[in-house]
Amino acid sequence: NDTSMQHRNLNHMTREERFSEAMRRTLYALKVLLPREGWTPVGPEMKYLARAIKEFTFIIHAGVFIPCIMSYGTNEQIAKWFPLAADFRIIGTYAQTELGHGSFLRGLETIATYDRANQEFIINCPKITAMKWWPGDMGKSANHVLLMAELVIDGKKYGMHGFMVQIRDLTTHEPLPGVTVGDIGAKLSFESVDNGFLYLQNVRIPRENLLSKLSEVHPDGTYIKKGNQRLMYGSMVRVRVNLIAHEIVMPLAKACTIAVRYSAVRRQGLINPSKEEVPVLDYVAQQHKLLPQVATVFMAHFAAKQLVKMHHDYSLEVEKGNTSQLPELHALSAGMKACLSEQGAAGAEIVRRACGGHGYSCGSGLPFIVNRMLATCTYEGENTVMQLQCARYLIKCADQAKKDKLTGSVWYLSDFSNMSCTAQTFGDLQEPSVLVKLHERRAKCAVQHAGKKMQNMVKNGTPAHDAWNMMATLLINAARAHIMQYVVGTSVTYISELSCSASLKKILTQLCALYALHNINSNCGDFVKFGCLTSAQCDLAQEAEFNLLKQLRPDAVGIVDSFDFTDDILQSCLGAYDGNVYERLFEWAKQAPMNKTEVHQDSYQYLQPYLHEGRDVLEGRGRNSKL
């Protein structure tokens, strides 16, 4: 209810207005609403803020830069930089991606060369492709960057390391000498975020600015490795784990709230010719578009909670020096981020499109959500690259399963029990245990299939790297299958252990079954090819899904209401709680800057002559134009 936090109509603002408005509102929220000593911008308050601030800026400062200081800094470095960053006395970003490289980190070209005489690092972008490009908050806001660069000592390369680099004067905010920095221009979304470019030419920083938790450089240039170098990738793992809740589950829940509420009030056409027009939500085709996406919100939420817990537990182990679980965490976080962002972005577009013309209006709030979710498929690890990382781990585990009993998320790869499906009715296929087994078997077969294909190619003389490249599509499918079995399995377990009313558990169980069946019916080729289901059982799976749509229809609006988004957060004429869609759309349109005047001033300049000629022709004074 704080008017400073009320959303202005973002769609009718320019990009610069949105940049300023987001900065104002974010700083107000972070500084005024949450005055806490040593407050770190993560945790419960962050969830509220993520909901309350439609366009959050300083995402990278709060969500990546500050956590990186904690992950990569020594205690002294944390004590120096964390308080400054937490209180916004320095604004930072995570500068890793370059104009020429984003996915292949070993190809990054920015160099940090140690100058022993002065005990400094000289930071240089040797060519245009080395320029940092994309980091959020970097173009106009940040005055520091956590720069990921290749460390070089006496001509020897030591790989990617993190360096604290000041890029703007703390008083004037002007770029420092050797620094060329700016905004990269308009993008598909994140209009309020100043994603930037950064060209560094012989910028000198003190030796102490190498974040040295995992490695350090002594004054004489001696390099000391102190931890598992893969922990240098730890920041990306953490963001992949956290972004699922904030940037996939939450926006998809908003989109589903808007689309289901709108579909309950929008009447269009007849089902029974003798009855009145129906709400489009009564069409099974509409239910088939919307309700599986509603189910995805819940299942992705449950699976993300489990992943966050796993990341927390593994992080505690890493702190004790045990990094044995890192490969599994990397594979699972990479796979989950890729597969759930793919599903979420596609799902948001499906529900937007289900709202017809008004779904194409920015007044619906849906284009904003769809465009923003598309970015989740690219940032923090492009999805294809992430799925292949996940597949790399699965292939290694499949080989290991031949001799060892596996545990963790890949345990099913060493389950050689009879997994054939005995379902005889569509009710059998709504059973959670049956759905879990089906997904485990499909995943196991998909992984083994990809592995076998590659082994055969190598046996026939194909180099392993070529076999990997040629089977990439099968490997990506195996990664997707693995994540689907993880999401279904963790959701079934989560719901079964949830202490809640029987009626709520029934709804959640139905949603879980709907999610699993929708996945089976969308990928039935795999389930038949791998012998998981017969063709007749595939028919039953479809019948089972349609039956669940019918059962869930009466509760559809109540289910999305449970996401509890206020109208101010939804910013949608179609999804407002009161259902007054048409009045809201009309009011929203009237506020458009185009409607400031009855006649647009440019029409006098360009249209007037033609209007006069048309008037003359219509009133008989002029000739029809040649045209």
Ligand X SMILES: CCCCCCC/C=C/C(=O)SCCNC(=O)CCNC(=O)[C@H](O)C(C)(C)COP(=O)(O)OP(=O)(O)OC[C@H]1O[C@@H](n2cnc3c(N)ncnc32)[C@H](O)[C@@H]1OP(=O)(O)O
Ligand Y SMILES: Cc1cc2nc3c(=O)[nH]c(=O)nc-3n(C[C@H](O)[C@H](O)[C@H](O)COP(=O)(O)OP(=O)(O)OC[C@H]3O[C@@H](n4cnc5c(N)ncnc54)[C@H](O)[C@@H]3O)c2cc1C
Question: Does 310 participate in binding ligand X (rule CB under 6 A)?
Answer: no
Least distance to ligand Y, CB of residue 94, Å: 5
Least distance to ligand X, CB of residue 125, Å: 17
- Which structure tokens are listed for 384? 């294809």
Least distance to ligand Y, CB of residue 38, Å: 25
Please say whether the beta carbons of 70 and 78 come within 8 A. Answer: yes
For residue 386, the SS3 value is helix
Render the burial of 537-571: b for 16+ CB within 10 Å, e for the rest. Answer: bbebbebbbebbbebbbebbbebbeebebeeebbb
Q: Which residues are catalytic?
A: 380
Question: Does 94 participate in binding ligand Y (rule CB under 6 A)?
Answer: yes
Q: Please classify residue 410 by burial: count the beta carbons closer than 10 Å to its beta carbon, then call 0-12 exposed, 13-18 middle and 19+ buried.
A: buried
DSSP letters spanning 208-249: GGB--SSEEE-TT--EEE-S-GGGGGHHHHHHHHHHIIIIII
Contacts of 489 (CB under 8 A, 6+ apart): 436, 439, 440
Draw the binding track, 438-477, toward ligand X (x: CB under 6 A; -: no contact): ----------------------------------------
Q: Binding ligand X by CB under 6 A: which of 26, 97, 361, 485?
A: 97
Please say whether the beta carbons of 124 and 84 come within 8 A. Answer: no
Q: Which of the residues 105 through 124 are near ligand X (CB under 6 A)?
A: 105-106
Least Cα distance to 335 among 237, 253, 408 occurs for: 237
Least distance to ligand X, CB of residue 442, Å: 24
Among the residue ranges 56-64, 354-362, 501-509, 550-558, the one whose residues contact ligand X (CB under 6 A): 56-64
Amino acid at position 123, single letter: I
Question: Does 103 participate in binding ligand Y (rule CB under 6 A)?
Answer: yes
Please say whether the beta carbons of 277 and 269 come within 8 A. Answer: yes
Question: Does 139 participate in binding ligand Y (rule CB under 6 A)?
Answer: no
Give the CA distances from residue 608 to residues 49, 53, 93, in Å, rounded to whole numbers and listed in that order.
50, 44, 51
Please say whether the beta carbons of 71 and 238 come within 8 A. Answer: yes
The site that binds ligand Y (CB under 6 A) totals a number of residues, namely 22
Q: Binding ligand X by CB under 6 A: which of 28, 233, 283, 546?
A: 233
- Which structure tokens are listed for 331? 């594979």
Q: Binding ligand Y by CB under 6 A: which of 96, 124, 341, 343?
A: 96
Residue among 195 and 215 whose Cβ is closer to ligand Y: 195
Pick from ligand X, ligand Y, none: which does 243 bind, CB < 5 to 8 A by kind? ligand X
Least distance to ligand X, CB of residue 476, Å: 14
Q: Binding ligand X by CB under 6 A: which of 71, 124, 242, 364?
A: 242
Draw the binding track, 355-384, toward ligand Y (x: CB under 6 A; -: no contact): --------------------x--xx-xx-x
Question: Does 26 participate in binding ligand X (rule CB under 6 A)?
Answer: no
Pick from ligand Y, ligand X, none: which does 195 bind, CB < 5 to 8 A by kind? ligand Y
Q: How far is 290 from 621, CA to CA, in rounded Å?
A: 58
Q: How far is 161 from 215, CA to CA, in rounded Å?
A: 9
Least distance to ligand Y, CB of residue 374, Å: 9
Q: Binding ligand Y by CB under 6 A: which of 41, 63, 73, 136?
A: 136
Question: Does 251 participate in binding ligand Y (rule CB under 6 A)?
Answer: no
Q: Binding ligand Y by CB under 6 A: which of 23, 53, 60, 198?
A: 60
- Which structure tokens are listed for 274? 């003798």
Amino acid at position 83, single letter: P
- Which structure tokens are listed for 288? 């088939």
Q: Binding ligand X by CB under 6 A: which of 19, 58, 94, 486?
A: 94
Question: Does 136 participate in binding ligand X (rule CB under 6 A)?
Answer: yes
Q: Which of the residues 504 through 563 are near ligand Y (CB under 6 A)?
A: none
Among the residue ranges 94-102, 412-420, 540-548, 556-564, the one whose residues contact ligand Y (CB under 6 A): 94-102
Among the residue ranges 58-66, 261-269, 476-484, 527-535, the one whose residues contact ligand X (CB under 6 A): 58-66
> Nearest-CB residue to ligand Y?
102
Least Cα distance to 487 among 327, 325, 304 occurs for: 304
Q: How far is 5 from 11, CA to CA, in rounded Å?
A: 17
Question: Does 71 participate in binding ligand X (rule CB under 6 A)?
Answer: no
Q: Binding ligand X by CB under 6 A: which of 54, 330, 482, 584?
A: 330
Pick from ligand X, ligand Y, none: which does 106 bind, CB < 5 to 8 A by kind? ligand X
Q: Binding ligand Y by CB under 6 A: which of 124, 195, 306, 571?
A: 195
Please say whether the beta carbons of 144 and 165 come within 8 A. Answer: yes
Q: Binding ligand X by CB under 6 A: which of 8, 127, 230, 312?
A: 230
Contacts of 532 (CB under 8 A, 6+ apart): 419, 421, 438, 441, 442, 445, 526
Least Cα distance to 162 among 150, 151, 147, 152 occurs for: 147
Question: Does 385 participate in binding ligand X (rule CB under 6 A)?
Answer: yes
Q: How far is 189 from 243, CA to CA, in rounded Å?
A: 16
Pick from ligand X, ligand Y, none: which does 236 bind, CB < 5 to 8 A by kind? ligand X
Contacts 24+ apart (CB under 8 A), 496-501: 496/432
Residue among 64 and 570 whose Cβ is closer to ligand Y: 64
Q: Which residues bind ligand Y (CB under 6 A)?
A: 60, 93-97, 101-103, 134-136, 190, 195, 375, 378-379, 381-382, 384-385, 388
Q: Which residues bind ligand X (CB under 6 A)?
A: 59-60, 63, 94, 96-97, 103-106, 136, 230, 233, 236-237, 239, 242-243, 246-247, 326-327, 330, 379-381, 385, 389, 392
